[in-house]
Amino acid sequence: MSMVTNSIRWFYHEFGLASVHETGRNAYLIILARTCRMFAYGTNSLILAIFFSALGVSDNRIGLFMTLTLVGDVFLGTLLSLVADRIGRRRVLMGGSVLMITSGVIFAVFENFWVLLLGAIVGVISITGGDFGPFRSIEESVLSQLTTPSTRSDVLAWHVSTPLIGSSIGSEVSGRIIHWLQGKDGWSDVDSYHALFWIYAGMGFVNLSLVSLLTDACELQQPDNGYSQVPQGEHEIRESEGSSNRPSIDVPTEKSNRLVKAWTWFSDQLGQISRPTRSTMYKLWVLLAVDSLADGMVPYSLTNYYLDTNFHPAKSILGDVTSASYFLGALGATLAGPLAKKIGLINTMVFTHIPSSVAVLLFPFPPYFWMAAALLLIRAALNSMDQAPRTALIAAVVKPEERTAVMGITSTVRTLAAMIGPSVTGLLASNEHFWVAFVAAGVCRLAYDFGLYGLFVNLGL
């Protein structure tokens, strides 16, 4: 009995559950809300590109849809992350939940391409299976505030791994539901896809309910004088570039006045980030842009579309593979925290990501479905192991009062880069060169891996 107790105690501490418990109720609510959201994203990543193909939409337009959706995510994510600390993080998260519900209802009811595009741009639809949009950067900022340096990587790892289990369940459930509905009289393929978007809208409502339970501790707190920023090779001089120090600008028209105010406001937000932080983040943002471009070229929705068009598996089988991918991703993300403690953040990010990148590069070459599926599983198992360490890295080199803005800009940079990818892949697919997208994505991911190691390994994190 004592052996069992000791094993449970070891697991509780080694895998970071103690850190989540120490952080408290808000951490549980945030992780659960993201898990429900990723459940919805899992249902939609399986069928989104296939849904448009069933509607008769061309590959070029599918790529265009995904690119423009990511453009909407850039605008929405940037705006909301920059104002979240001012108007309230919880309010922003609740507003994002309402947009998610709206998008789900639109996709459940309409089939017109332009209506669906509008619903995706102004709402929240995950075209990659990942968590783009207004939620993640704000949640990571909240968790970074609620945690200590000793618990942060563990809590952030659970913020990645548990939602991936939600994605896994969502993909499995959606595959089974589609298979069941398509076997019923009077149900077409498109009808079964519409049904899944009602589930998506329902998960948006659950997300809204959970974030409404968050406490005041999630809002921006005054910086602690005891905070120590990781040295970044420059003098730690806090810039003061508030709008009160800017000369007034006379503008001739109301329209130009609005543009100047908007640009001044954005500059003020960037100016709130200190020069040493920006010096480090500029390098990281370039690398993340390269990695995100690769992810945008081969998201799970387009990867499933490639498998469907080349091997024609049953949707239930495709759902099983996607579900297993997310589950392995969750398992890998769970191991990222303990691994980062032993070998460091940078080593964890690089050495787990390289095999995943190689799997992406080799993905289009196998002649059999099971071989391609195996490469997809390898990619998925290791792909998420850099996410929590990356957030912990950013939290370590950024001051507490800068985190929401920095993480919001980071999310924006990643989304801007990713939004180019689907259009490139759509163009390649329409010209019978779908496979080239995976090779190019693999090369970009490897460039990110080696660049990250070369530029940041000396930080000692």
- Residue range 260-315, pLDDT digits in tens: 554 565 566 566 677 777 788 888 899 999 999 999 899 888 898 899 889 988 88
Distance CA 321, CA 234 (A): 48
User: What mean pLDDT is predicted for residues 425-437?
Assistant: 90
Burial (CB < 10 A; 0-12, 13-18, 19+), residue 441, is: buried
Does position 356 have pLDDT exceeding 90, yes or no? yes
pLDDT of 81: 73
pLDDT of 239 higher than 90:
no
Q: Per-residue confidence at 460, pLDDT binned at 50, 70, 90?
A: low
Average pLDDT score over residue span 13-36? 88
Considering only residues 226 and 180, tell me which one the structure prediction assigns the higher pLDDT. Answer: 180
Task: Say if residue 227's pLDDT is above 50.
Answer: no
Who has greater pLDDT, 458 or 120?
A: 120
Question: Is residue 4 pLDDT above 60, yes or no?
Answer: yes
Classify residue 460 by burial, with Cβ atoms within 10 Å: 0-12, 13-18, 19+.
exposed
Q: 446: which residues sit within 8 A by CB, 6+ positions away? A: 354, 357, 358, 361
The backbone torsions φ and ψ at residue 110, rounded to the nearest 5 degrees and listed phi first, read: -100, 160
Q: Is the pLDDT of residue 63 over 60?
A: yes
CA distance 109 to 254: 40
Helix H, strand E, coil C: the string for 336-389 is HHHHHHHHCHHHHHHHHHHHHHHHHHHCCCCCCHHHHHHHHHHHHHHHHHHHHH
* Choice among 16-25, 41-50, 245-254 with the minimum mean pLDDT: 245-254
pLDDT (mean) for 103-131: 87
- Cα–Cα distances in angstroms (integers) from residue 199 to residues 42, 230, 336, in the given order: 11, 44, 31
Instruction: Write down the pLDDT at residue 267.
Output: 63
Predicted confidence at residue 307, as pLDDT, reads 92
Distance, CA of 391 to CA of 128 (rounded, Å): 20
pLDDT at 1: 60
What is the token pair recorded at 459?
């930080």
Residue with more model confidence, 362 or 400: 362
Mean per-residue pLDDT of the chain: 82
Stretch 374-402: mean pLDDT, rounded?
85
CATH topology of domain 21-215+259-459: Growth Hormone; Chain: A; (1.20.1250)
Tokens coding 414: 């990643």
Question: What is the three-class DSSP state of 250?
Answer: coil
Task: Identify the band that residue 133 occupies on the pLDDT scale cut at 50, 70 and 90.
Answer: low
Share of the chain above pLDDT 70, in %: 86
Model confidence pLDDT, tens digit, residues 314-347 = 888 988 898 898 888 888 887 887 888 888 888 9
Query: d(Cα 164, Cα 131) in Å, to the nearest integer?
Result: 10
The model's pTM:
0.69
What mean pLDDT do residues 252-262 have? 48
Instruction: Give the pLDDT of residue 368.
Output: 93
Q: What is the mean pLDDT of residues 14-43?
A: 89
Would you list the domain boundaries of the chain? 21-215+259-459
